[in-house]
Structures are given as C-alpha cells and as structure tokens.
Structure 1
Amino acid sequence: RNGIELVDALFSRDGIVLILKDDQAPLAYEKLRSEISR
C-alpha cells in the first residue's frame, strides 16, 4: 500500500522495532514522521 517492504518487526511493551531494507528506511521514516505529527 505504501511501497515499503517490511522485512521483520519486533514488539515489546515499550514499542515496536521495524526492520526494513536499507534503501527504504528514509522513506519509511518520512511517512511515519508525517503521520505522527498530524
């Protein structure tokens, strides 16, 4: 849907760690940052 391929994810009580491909990390960061600031 958003063009970012999720390789893996780790969940804990404190948060989520997303494992992405190197070239997709900046795009994912920008998308998450824009959604959180809404």
Structure 2
Amino acid sequence: MLGHQLEQRERSKVTVCLISIECATHFLSSSKKINR
C-alpha cells in the first residue's frame, strides 16, 4: 500500500514538472515574439 502511494506521489511530481516546463517554454517563445 505504501509503495503504491509513493508511486502516485512521484507520478504527480513528474506531471507538475512537465506542466511547468511546458509553461516555461511557451512563455519564453511568446516573449521572444513580443520582443521582435
């Protein structure tokens, strides 16, 4: 049971990381467009 909970926590961490990376890349690309 504990192992399963840890797995879910790690998975959610990975999901948050991926989402933040996507947001960062999107923000950077949009800011580059504005600078041009």
- Does the TM-score normalized on the shorter chain lie above 0.5? no
Instruction: Output the TM-score relative to the length of structure 1.
Output: 0.40
Query: RCO higher in 1 or 2 (8 Å CA, sep ≥ 6)?
Result: 1
Instruction: Output the TM-score relative to the length of structure 2.
Output: 0.42
